[in-house]
Amino acid sequence: MAAFIMKIYTRTGDKGQTGLLGGTRVAKDDPRIEAYGTVDELNSHLGMLRDLAAPHHGAFIVDIQNTLFAIGSRLASGSEDEAAKFKVPVVTEENITALEQAMDSMDSQLETMRNFILPGGHVAVSQAHICRTICRRAERRVVQLAAGTEVSEVIVRYLNRLSDLLFMMARHLGKLHGVADVPWKPRG
């Protein structure tokens, strides 16, 4: 049996077009490409966070990355029917519940937050905040896409909850590394 070899370059995008999962060609700056491209960017940054947060949150971040891959694949599908045809995993309420349960667990270990806080203090904390802001951008891109095409609302809810989790994870990682929250002190 011959092995399938996947080439990295295809030359099919050399004129500013790319293919969706079902084969439909769209411009590389199409809102759908912006949405799943930003989810992909988030997934890459989560890989760095996973490396920095292991062993504390590493396995959970892998679960999140798998869900983000499913989200990206669903967004890369021309429709829900195409996603089903290609057996792209569905994002479910259970995925959101897992984020909420993880947040509740981390929150129970932290001091009550009384101020806005500044990102930073440790490289893992900073990376969690970078992931949080990219997640917010991904959410905005998906909302923008949903204004003109069919997008499952659970995807928007998942990204919204994920950004909250990443904020909580930044604080939790700070505690694990002995770094205190730095409160925002407005000037003026």
Q: What is the pLDDT of residues 69-100, one digit of tens each?
A: 999 999 998 777 788 788 888 999 999 999 99
pLDDT of residue 25: 77
Looking at per-residue pLDDT, the higher value among 52 and 78 belongs to 52
pLDDT at 16 over 90: no
Task: Tell me which fold the domain 26-181 belongs to.
Answer: Hypothetical Protein Ta1238; Chain: A; (1.20.1200)
Which pLDDT belongs to residue 18?
67
Q: What is the pTM of this model?
A: 0.90
* pLDDT score at 20: 62
Among 81-95, 109-123, 125-139, 169-183, whose mean pLDDT is lowest?
Answer: 81-95
- Going by pLDDT thresholds of 50, 70 and 90, the confidence category of residue 14 is low
Confidence of residue 23 (pLDDT cuts 50, 70, 90): low
pLDDT of 188 strictly over 80:
no
Q: Quote the CA–CA distance of 123 and 81 in Å, as a whole number.
A: 42
Q: What is the DSSP string of the chain?
A: -PPP---S--STTTTSEEE-TTS-EEETTSHHHHHHHHHHHHHHHHHHHHHHHTTTSHHHHHHHHHHHHHHHHHHTSSSHHHHHHTTPPPP-HHHHHHHHHHHHHHHTTSPPP-S-EES-SSHHHHHHHHHHHHHHHHHHHHHHHHTTS---HHHHHHHHHHHHHHHHHHHHHHHHTT---EE-----
